[in-house]
Amino acid sequence: MDQKTSKKLEDKGWKVGTVSDFLELSPEEAILVEIKLALSRSLKERRQSLMTQSDLAEKIQSSQPRVANAENGDASVSIELLIRAILATGASTEEIGQVIASVR
């Protein structure tokens, strides 16, 4: 949001801040959320060009709804599952590292 819009909202009594402020996340928690979201986006992009969600679910011995949750950044999905799924698409550890390094 630009500063002009923020100022207008604040002048009308609204509080303006970040999601981290609203959820009272520590800096470490905020980065962890961003890493999980980046991994989810990467998984979805890689998987869509290679296979169906069902195919990937079979490869990682999971279910299609679980893969959908992973791709959509569901909070119940662990970073471990995200990494296992990305590896199952043929990604290297270096590529996963690049996804993580791209956060902030």
Summarize pLDDT for 71-98 with one digit per residue, the tens. 999 999 999 999 999 999 999 999 999 9
Q: 55: exposed, middle or buried (C-beta count within 10 Å: 0-12, 13-18, 19+)? A: middle
Please name which of 44, 55, 28 lies closest in space to residue 82, comparing C-alpha atoms: 44
Per-residue model confidence (pLDDT) at position 57: 98
Instruction: Retrieve residue 101's tokens.
Output: 């390094």
- Express each pLDDT in 16-51 by its tens digit: 877 778 788 899 999 999 999 999 999 999 999 999
Residue 36: which residues within 8 A CB-CB, separation 6 or more?
73, 77, 79, 82
Residues in contact with 85: Cβ distance below 8 Å, sequence separation at least 6, in sequence order: 43, 47, 56, 60, 62, 67, 70
The tens digit of pLDDT for each residue in 49-61 reads 999 999 999 999 9
Domains contained in the chain, CATH given: 19-101 (1.10.260.40)
